[in-house]
């Protein structure tokens, strides 16, 4: 998948996880809905200032917007890595430990 489209899908996934519409995101960024749509569809790259604003509105760091994008782990259902991160952040300590243990088991890896 083209990097621009992957980045756009990441923005869309994060926006949806926040329960935000394109119109709300556009308003918070002082951009048009069409502009947000074009970013999410991978039609245009936002500038650095817009990227920083997007990260701030969506509550992530700029690096999180780009983390793992080249690995193409996204599906038509969205960015699974970002969805998993979002869900893991919402867990309390005990449930997070259980989730990590389950992921270790599923991946065949064991922490030292």
Number of domains forming the structure of the chain: 1
Q: Is 23 inside a domain boundary?
A: yes
Q: Is 112 inside a domain boundary?
A: no
Q: Is 50 inside a domain boundary?
A: yes
Q: Is 36 inside a domain boundary?
A: yes
> What contacts 73, CB < 8 A, 6 or more positions away?
79, 80, 81
**Which of 44, 49, 55, 51 is closest to 15 using CA atoms?**
55
Distances (CA, A) of 51 to 1, 35, 54, 60: 20, 13, 5, 11
Tell me if the pTM is above 0.95.
no
Domain that holds residue 14: 3-107
Cβ atoms of residues 71 and 35 within 8 Å: no
Q: Is 91 inside a domain boundary?
A: yes
Q: Is 26 inside a domain boundary?
A: yes
Q: What is the CATH number of the domain that holds 27?
A: 1.10.260.40
pLDDT < 50: residue spans in the chain:
none
């Amino acid at each position: 998948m083209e990097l621009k489209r992957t980045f756009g899908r990441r923005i869309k996934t994060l926006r949806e996880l926040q329960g935000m519409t394109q119109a709300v995101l556009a308003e918070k960024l002082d951009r048009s809905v069409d502009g947000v749509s074009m970013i999410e569809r991978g039609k245009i790259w936002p500038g650095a200032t817009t990227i920083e604003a997007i990260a701030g509105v969506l509550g992530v760091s700029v690096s999180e917007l780009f983390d793992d994008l080249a690995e193409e782990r996204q599906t038509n259902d969205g960015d699974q890595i970002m969805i998993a991160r979002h869900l893991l952040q919402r867990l309390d300590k005990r449930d997070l430990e259980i989730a990590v243990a389950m992921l270790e088991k599923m991946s065949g890896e064991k922490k030292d």
